[in-house]
Amino acid sequence: MAPMTTAVPPVTTAELMEAVAAVGSAYFLDFAAAAGRHGLSSSQAKALAAVLEPVPMRALAGRLGCDASNVTGIVDRLETLGLARREAAAADRRVKMVTITPEGAEVLRLVRADMTRTHHAFDSLGPEQRTILNDLCRQVLPLLVA
Amino acid sequence: MAPMTTAVPPVTTAELMEAVAAVGSAYFLDFAAAAGRHGLSSSQAKALAAVLEPVPMRALAGRLGCDASNVTGIVDRLETLGLARREAAAADRRVKMVTITPEGAEVLRLVRADMTRTHHAFDSLGPEQRTILNDLCRQVLPLLVA
DNA sequence: TATTGTTATACTCTATAACTATA
DNA sequence: TATAGTTATAGAGTATAACAATA
């Protein structure tokens, strides 16, 4: 009865922004809650995830999207907790490289494993859907961070 | 020469989380930057977007994912800026409804229009891709906020 | 008694500006 | 002189606990 092709209502950029914002927001809340359960603020957990390989303080500020002066306090607290440490850079004695410790890597693993709603949501997708969503994210990302 | 179907490397939930986190993070940074250009913190802008229709203080805390005590200060500042206002609820004299003002709605519109990287990224998608991404987001969202 | 919103408190995150030590 | 990291400061966000008003 229905025609082969029906009129598909076009998805506006505003609608797309709303949908992506809702998913991003829910993801972040789940992340923050999981971090809190392991004694970390979301900024601390995000910083931990950003120093899986050694990163200069200044570059870490860029990744976190905040001023360099903030990173001092964040890394101070991670260092106090034994989850990250500062190391001198070989080439330039001004820069300090921040690295995650084995304890930090373990806590980060636990936090990620503890994002129950996120796992529940993504585990519900089939192989094709996972591939499509992953590809779309990676396609759009370069323009979003340009 | 190549077979009709090739071995597609399966996308793990961890990879999906990384991709979605990167997009969500970049979106949020663009949102925060746009809000800042209009004199708002990201929390204030997010609160503004959450009161397009009147919302009780308590429910607003739920939407923002923070404790109810924080909402007092956030709404205080929005009220000082003339962007939102508190109104008594008819049914229950304990609750206060927060509503956006016309000025607030206009500022929110400007902030959203000012998210240049986000517009650039999403405008680059074709009609089919927009529909697929929108559908996937809305499919996954209920499980993410459950 | 339970709930809504507020206040008081303390800690974290945030940007700005000034400082130091390197380059 | 320019840059990396720190410190000092002030404002905003955050949770916890205690409170007044209302249900």
**Token pair 């591939």: residue:** A131
Percentage of chain A with pLDDT > 70? 95
> What is the pLDDT averaged over residues A45-71?
97
**Token pair 């609160």: residue:** B47
Beta bridge partners of B97: B56, B87
Residue B81, pLDDT > 70, answer yes
The CATH number that domain B30-114 falls under is 1.10.10.10
| Domain chopping of chain B, boundaries | 30-114
pTM of the prediction?
0.93
Looking at residue B146, its pLDDT comes to 79
Nearest one of B141, B139, B120 to B131, comparing CA atoms? B139
Helix (H) or strand (E) holding A55: strand A55-56
> What is the pLDDT averaged over residues A76-88?
98
At residue A9 the predicted structure's pLDDT band, cuts being 50, 70 and 90, is: confident
**Beta strand A96-100 pairing with A55-56:** antiparallel
Beta bridge partners of B87: B97
Looking at residue A2, its pLDDT comes to 54
At residue B110 the predicted structure's pLDDT band, cuts being 50, 70 and 90, is: very high
Nearest one of A60, A82, A14, A77 to B134, comparing CA atoms? A14
**C-alpha span between B133 and B129 (Å, rounded):** 6
Looking at residue A4, its pLDDT comes to 66
* A residues 106-135 lying closer than 8 A (beta carbon) to B: 112, 115, 117-125, 127, 129-134
> What is the pLDDT averaged over residues B56-69?
97
Q: Residue A46 contacts by C-beta under 8 Å, 6 or more apart in sequence? A: A64, B25
**C-alpha span between A83 and B69 (Å, rounded):** 31
**C-alpha span between A144 and B124 (Å, rounded):** 11
Taking only Cα atoms into account, the Rg of chain A, rounded to an integer number of angstroms, comes to: 20
At residue A7 the predicted structure's pLDDT band, cuts being 50, 70 and 90, is: confident
Of B17, B119, B125, the CB nearest to A118: B17
> What is the pLDDT averaged over residues A82-93?
96
Looking at residue A86, its pLDDT comes to 98
Residue B32, pLDDT > 60, answer yes
Looking at residue B5, its pLDDT comes to 63
- Angle among Cα A126, B65, B139 to the nearest 5 degrees reads 20
Of B19, B130, B144, the CB nearest to A118: B144
> What is the pLDDT averaged over residues A66-91?
97
Looking at residue B3, its pLDDT comes to 54
Q: Residue A121 contacts by C-beta under 8 Å, 6 or more apart in sequence? A: B140, B141, B143, B144
Looking at residue B119, its pLDDT comes to 98
Residue A101, pLDDT > 70, answer yes
Residue B7, pLDDT > 80, answer no
At residue B2 the predicted structure's pLDDT band, cuts being 50, 70 and 90, is: low
**C-alpha span between A108 and A99 (Å, rounded):** 13
B109 contact residues in A (CB cutoff 8 A): none
Looking at residue A146, its pLDDT comes to 79
* A residues 29-88 lying closer than 8 A (beta carbon) to B: 29-32, 46, 65
CB contact under 8 A, B30 and A144: yes
Q: What is the largest CA-CA distance in chain A?
A: 75
At residue B1 the predicted structure's pLDDT band, cuts being 50, 70 and 90, is: low
B23 close to B79: Cβ distance less than 8 angstroms: no
